[in-house]
Amino acid sequence: MTSSTTDNVSPIERLRSAVPGLDQILGGGLFRTGVYIIQGLPGCGKTILANQICYGHVAEGGSAVYVTLLAESHSRMIQHLSTLSFFDVKAFPDKLAYISAFHELETAGLKGLMAVLRREMRTRKVGVLVLDGLVAASEGASDLDLKKFIHELQSIAVLQDCTVLLLTSGNLHRMAAEHTMVDGLVELEDKLFEARSERSIQVRKFRGAGPLRGKHSMRIDNDGITVFPRIESLYRIAASDTTTSERAVTSGIASLDGLLAIKGVPASSATVVIGSTGTGKTTLGLHFLHASTPEEPGLHLGFFEGPDRLRSKARSMGLALEPLEASGAVELMWQSPVEATVDEIAERLLAAVARRGVRRLVIDGLSGFLESTVYPERIARFFSCLVNELRNRRVTVLMTLETRDVVSSVVSMPWGVSGLVDNLFFLRFVHDEGHVERLLTIIKMRDTDYQAGLRRLKIDSHGMHIAGTYRADGDVIPSAQPVASPEGAAPSPSK
Amino acid sequence: MKTILVVDDELGSAEVLSLILEEEGYRALCAVNGRQALVQARDVVPDLVIVDYMMPLMNGADFARELRADTQFADTKIILNSGLPEAAIREHFGGYDAFLRKPFKVEALLELVQRFIGR
């Protein structure tokens, strides 16, 4: 006798949710035949989430029923849902139905409600059942009654191969009787940060698997809900040691490469170009981008200057981007810095990198990320994970960062940025006997030698180039200085 | 007095409709699903039924089919209503006298009621 009992236990199948990103944070989807609570205040997206799961199940050939108690009227719900892309009128009535069970609850209590649910599961043979309004069901019922109700629901769900979603806006801030019984607890939130609100989703309990913990941002638009897993929870593996000095990637400026021992920046490294407005950060980025080829494609993520303006700017310096875009060597991507979450931007960025096998990336305006976050304490971990992931994907990154001081010899690094820098270039203006000069200083290069000192920088119709050494007093020699962390703790110096 | 049976699993809307119809001088009765409605219909033989499409136990289409198959309801008019568009419903069932897409205005309903059964 060699067989063991575990050989006979098959894993529970998952129910794909059709909510982008949700299955990722659940580690593959809800477990079929599970009973889950989806909770949150009115307006946080419970109804849309549950409906999206229903319609997704129907689209895959299943059937679903949406049972309401004291909730939004069915006709109004259908009116609202009909504006969403997943709404499918053909699903009615064979594959999807909205029914009310409030009368049964009111006349026969939880037993009457259970009878409706049991009958709907059996007669319609549904794979997903939603009960909207658990609060109404629990009013007047004892904790024991409610536990028995959920226990019975779990038993029926298994027998009928049906996954059950219980929607509620109650008991948000305490562990209630029903929380202890269900297989999972998903909480939605719409939180205000000054004038801006951010939606989030959190899996607070999930039997049978380890979800991606913590809050993840969420968007609701015409396609319904999209979840953006927090990048720190997705990419927890340290960067492989791909940043080496053995292989150089040209900066796109021959005279700048000439200052670097390997004649370029190390492949898969992260370079930050820091400087005040007008010093040439975007121009340096355009040079770097212009060196892209179809074999080593480039991507430009801009937060402030749109693609047309960039093309025009590049053209004026003899760096026409249009032919590179036509050949597939370059893609320009623009992102508003104000109405997207950092995770949404990171997801879009990493998807674009994967889609074209990008090897050169310019992020023009790191402050765009900084402005997009409502949790500043996250930013150090966020950047660290994003840059690590880009390194793992063998992407060489050049990022620009604007400083406030137009004329300064101090490089103020926002908290969170200093730790991700392999290479740091400082651009600035100096006054010199009535003239204003642009200077470039290489402050640090990881794993490779470079020529330190102050270099004159010229920008003309041929683009940017180094125009000799600048000699000056000691007070213009730059020094790197990270600013304080959001928590007030002393940040570690840049690596 | 003409009798109208209002059938809707969302009991609140059925009750509101019944009150409005009573104010208009009709005798109005409520049911919350097709099965319950069928029992009441056999008891009172309504002149008109206003029935929702999606309901538990027995939906509006199945209820209307039962009425149509029973000769005692030969003169009973049926107004079907739903939040779904009529085209989606007509694919499955067409045996009604009028259709109202929810949410509808009460004037639209009363006009139909008056046209079918008068005052």
Identify the residue among B7, B10, B81, B93 best suited for mutation to test binding to A, counting A beta carbons within 10 A and taking the highest: B10
Q: Are A336 and A345 in contact (CB under 8 A)?
A: no
> A442: which strand partners?
A425
Cα(A298)–Cα(A396) distance, rounded to whole angstroms?
A: 9
Any idea which of A40-54, A322-336, A456-470, B38-52 has the lowest mean pLDDT? Answer: A456-470
Confidence of residue A206 (pLDDT cuts 50, 70, 90): very high
CA–CA gap between residue A407 and residue B118 (Å, rounded): 87
Closest residue by Cα to residue A442 from A412, A467, A411: A411
Tens digits of residue pLDDT in A458-493: 999 999 999 988 876 544 555 445 444 444 433 333
Strands A454-460 and B77-82: unpaired
Angstrom distance (rounded) from CA A288 to CA A286:
5
- CA B25 to chain A, closest CA, distance in angstroms equals 26
Please check the confidence at residue A422 and state whether its pLDDT lies above 50.
yes
pLDDT of residue B26: 97
Give residues 185 to 244 of A whose Cβ lies within 8 Å of B.
none
Lowest mean pLDDT segment, chosen from A85-89, A349-353, B74-78, B86-90:
B86-90
Report how far apart, in Å, the C-alpha atoms of A242 and of each of A163, A189, A261 are: 45, 39, 18
ipTM over 0.85: no
Helix (H, G, I), strand (E, B), or coil: what is residue A119? helix
pLDDT digit string, tens, across residues A434-460: 788 899 999 889 888 998 889 999 999
Mean pLDDT of chain A: 86
Residue A201: pLDDT band (50, 70, 90) is very high
Residues in chain B within 8 Å Cβ distance of A106: 11
* pLDDT recorded at residue A281: 95
Identify the domain containing residue B16 by its residue range. 3-117
A127 and A54 Cβ atoms separated by less than 8 Å: no
Q: How far is A176 from chain B (nearest CA, A)?
A: 28
Strand pairing class (A30-31; A14-15)? antiparallel
- pLDDT at residue A37 is higher than 50: yes
Contacts of A55 in chain B (CB under 8 A): none
Q: How far is Cα of residue A224 from the mean position of the Cα atoms in its chain?
A: 17
Instruction: Please count the other Cβ atoms lying within 10 Å of the Cβ belonging to residue A424.
Output: 24
Quote the CA–CA distance of A475 and A460 in Å, as a whole number. 28
Whether A494 has a pLDDT exceeding 60, the answer reads: no
Q: Is the pLDDT score of A135 beyond 70? A: yes
Q: Which two tokens stand for residue A403?
A: 């400083």
Q: Which two tokens stand for residue A468?
A: 């000799």
Q: Which chain A residues touch B37 with a CB distance below 8 Å?
A: none
pLDDT of residue A167: 94
Least confident of A270-284, A296-310, A366-380: A366-380
Do you find a cis peptide bond into A376, omega within 30 degrees of 0? Answer: no
Contacts of B57 in chain A (CB under 8 A): 116, 119
Please check whether residue B21 is in contact with residue B66, taking contact to mean a CB–CB distance below 8 angstroms.
Answer: no
Closest residue, chain A, to B103 (C-alpha): A75
Evaluate if residue A53 carries a pLDDT over 60: yes
Confidence (pLDDT) at A180: 80
Q: Per the structure block, which two tokens stand in for A92?
A: 């009615």
- Does A1 score more than 80 pLDDT? no
Q: What percent of chain A has pLDDT over 90?
A: 59
Under an 8 A CB cutoff, do B10 and A79 touch?
no
Residue A255 φ then ψ, to 5°: -70, -25
Q: A419 falls in which pLDDT band (50, 70, 90)?
A: low
Residue-level pLDDT at A340: 82
Number of domains chain B is built from: 1
Which CATH architecture does the domain made up of A5-229 adopt? 3-Layer(aba) Sandwich (3.40)
Q: How would you label A242-277 residue by residue, b for 16+ Cβ within 10 Å and e otherwise?
A: bbebeebbbbbbebbbebbebebbbbbbbbbbbbbe
What is the least distance, in Å, from the CA of B88 to any CA of chain A? 7
The pLDDT confidence band at residue A196, using thresholds 50, 70 and 90, is confident
Q: Which residue has the tokens 């039997």?
A: A207
A183-187, A251-255, A406-410, B100-104: which has the minimum mean pLDDT? A406-410
Q: Span A248-482: which CATH code?
A: 3.40.50.300
Of A68, A89, A103, the CB nearest to B84: A89
CB contact under 8 A, B11 and A100: yes
**Closest to A494 (Cα-Cα) out of A428, A409, A424:** A424
CB pairs under 8 A between A and B: 64
Residues from B in contact with A at Cβ < 8 Å: 9-11, 13, 32, 53-57, 59, 61, 82-85, 88-89, 92, 102-103
Q: Which residue of chain A has the CA closest to B104?
A: A75
Using a CB-CB distance cutoff of 8 angstroms, which residues of chain A are in contact with residue B11? 100, 102-103, 106
**Residue A373, token pair as written in the block:** 């976050």
Strand ranges inside chain B, DSSP E: 3-7, 27-31, 48-52, 77-82, 98-101
Per-residue pLDDT reduced to its tens digit, A152-174: 899 889 888 999 999 998 766 66
Residue A144 vs residue A1, higher pLDDT: A144
Contacts of B56 in chain A (CB under 8 A): 67, 99-101, 104, 116, 119-120
Interchain pair A74, B54: CB under 8 A: yes
Residue A360 bridge partners (DSSP): A298, A396
Q: Which of 98-117 (A) contact B at CB < 8 A? A: 98-104, 106, 116
What CATH number is given to the structural domain containing B44? Answer: 3.40.50.2300
Question: Do the beta carbons of residue A188 and residue A203 sit within 8 Å?
Answer: no
Plot region of A145 (φ>0 → left; ψ -120 to 50 → alpha; else → beta)? alpha
pLDDT tens across the length of chain B (119 residues): 999 999 999 878 888 899 999 999 999 999 999 999 999 999 999 999 999 999 998 999 999 999 999 999 999 999 999 999 999 899 888 999 999 998 888 889 999 999 999 97
Domains A5-229 and A248-482 share a fold: yes
Flag the least confident range among A25-29, A400-404, B46-50, B70-74.
Answer: A400-404
Give dist(CA A452, CA B56) in Å, integer.
79
Query: Which of A76, A99, A102 is closest, CB to CB, to B11?
Result: A102
Distance of alpha carbon A216 from alpha carbon A286, whole angstroms: 33
A394-421: average pLDDT: 74
Nearest residue on chain A to B83, alpha-carbon basis: A75
pTM given for the model: 0.81
Residue extents of the structural domains in chain A? 5-229, 248-482
pLDDT of residue A172: 63
Q: Minimal CA–CA distance to A18: which of A122, A127, A180?
A: A127
Instruction: Tell me which of B54, B55, B62, B102 to substitute to probe the interface with A (most A C-beta atoms closer than 10 Å).
Output: B54
Q: Is the CB of residue B80 less than 8 Å from the CB of residue B98?
A: yes
Of the given ranges (A196-210, A260-274, A460-474), which has the lowest mean pLDDT?
A460-474
